[in-house]
Amino acid sequence: MKITKICCIGAGYVGGPTMAVIAQKCPHIQVTVVDLNEERIAAWNDADLSNIPIYEPGLDAIVGEARGRNLFFSTDVDKAIHEAQIIFISVNTPTKTYGKGKGMAADLKYIELCSRQIARVAKDNKIVVEKSTLPVRTAEAIKSILDNTGNGVQFQILSNPEFLAEGTAVEDLLNPDRILIGGDTTAEGQEAIQALVDVYSNWVATDKILTTNVWSSELSKLTANAFLAQRISSINAMSELCEKTGANVNEVAKAIGMDSRIGPKFLKASVGFGGSCFQKDILNLVYIAKSYGLYQVADYWEQVIIMNDHQKRRFSNTIVRTLYNTVSDKKIAFLGWAFKKDTNDTRESAAIYVADDLINEHANIAVYDPKVSNKKIMDDLNYLETRSVEDNNSSVKSYSDPYEACQDAHAIAVLTEWDEFKTYDWQRIYDSMKKPAFIFDGRNLLNAKDLETIGFVYQGVGS
């Protein structure tokens, strides 16, 4: 099967960048990204590429090259479904906030709505690709909906999970560690797999394209995120022990990372992991394990989340304790709000929860982040519903200038590892702060000795 038209339902952090790269690398394929959110689609179509809704280094140039040639963004979902041979489903799968599985299971209502829309619209055979991170055996449910509510056409369901790291998503798409495609073992299933393999083969070496059964592909994504998050929680657990014993967690991490069996990646102690995937996927894994009666397995993975939550609380408690057990009416400057550098994504960012704890202690929070708007900061805090919107507005102010954010602050908390923070005139910042001037480096980003020479009271995680 020669693919000439692709549709992606969902213009978010996965769908938008993934389809942009496919369009750039496959100029012979028409790629249409659809979403019901008119504001988001308008942003993707904005003539000013700096206004596209997702910030990823290099993404604006790729969108600019392919948009209007073979990359299109639209709210006409039915038309795109009707014309496409391959339909990617890349919609949100948040953790359920209601009913059975509340707080752990993935909420699949958007997946079901997409499936029913595809079934209603499709008049010829389609390949439907799970791009969203989904629980194992979701493909079975999608196929049941398509086969039983459609127009008698044939559907093949593939699992093609994304393995993107925000901040490096474009590079991850251009030079992936692997592309994973799962499908049926039938002749029709293998033909569908090959059709998608042929798309990726336009720029990815075939030895990096792995094919499996659909269940292995679905579970591999959850497993990958669980293992990565586990490493972060493991080094963060050791950071607390380092603080008590006089060891330095950075030195410990370097020592164990030189062991070829362990390796150095994801061993940087911090205030904790954030983002849309790690916590959601681990909770999903916990729920799946419990649903099969695997309670010891569930308890093991749940501890990764417990440790991450503890690390965030421990960081905010350290700030309060060090500032003489009170931060009431004190200005605490936050450098960074995004959950990691080189992205404007704030989902599950540690900064949100540290700020929430400090506001509860009546601190005044001043935030500077190079890519996150004041509206997004306030939306994040208001979403927690721990206090009124008015209280949040009176306790938090964002700044467009980092030096202004730090002026007259009692302390600075580094919450995101933006590279620009390392280049600041720290003597100028020190001179503008209340004395003693404290820095709590939640990302172990800054040079402690240099800051202490200036006069700062420095405290990094695990130091």
Catalytic residues: 277
- Amino acid code (one letter) for 123: K
* 73 DSSP β-pair partners: 33
DSSP structural state of residue 336: -
Given a contact cutoff of 8 angstroms between Cβ atoms, the answer to whether 395 and 363 are in contact is yes
Q: How far apart are CA 277 and CA 94, in angstroms?
A: 9
* 414 DSSP β-pair partners: 335, 441
DSSP structural state of residue 95: B
- SS percent in the chain: helix, strand, coil, step 5: 50, 15, 40
Q: Using CA atoms in the order 168, 169, 170, 174, what is the torsion angle rounded to 10 degrees? A: 100
**How many other C-beta atoms are found inside a 10 Å radius of the C-beta of residue 80?**
23
Q: State yes or no: cis peptide before 27, omega within 30 of 0.
A: no
Q: What is the largest CA-CA distance in the chain?
A: 74
The first and second tokens of residue 329, run together, are: 């009416």
Spatial strand order of the sheet with 457-460 comes to 396-399, 364-368, 331-335, 411-414, 438-441, 457-460
Q: How far apart are CA 388 and CA 225, in angstroms?
A: 34
**How many other C-beta atoms are found inside a 10 Å radius of the C-beta of residue 209?**
18
* 460 DSSP β-pair partners: 441
Given a contact cutoff of 8 angstroms between Cβ atoms, the answer to whether 211 and 197 are in contact is yes
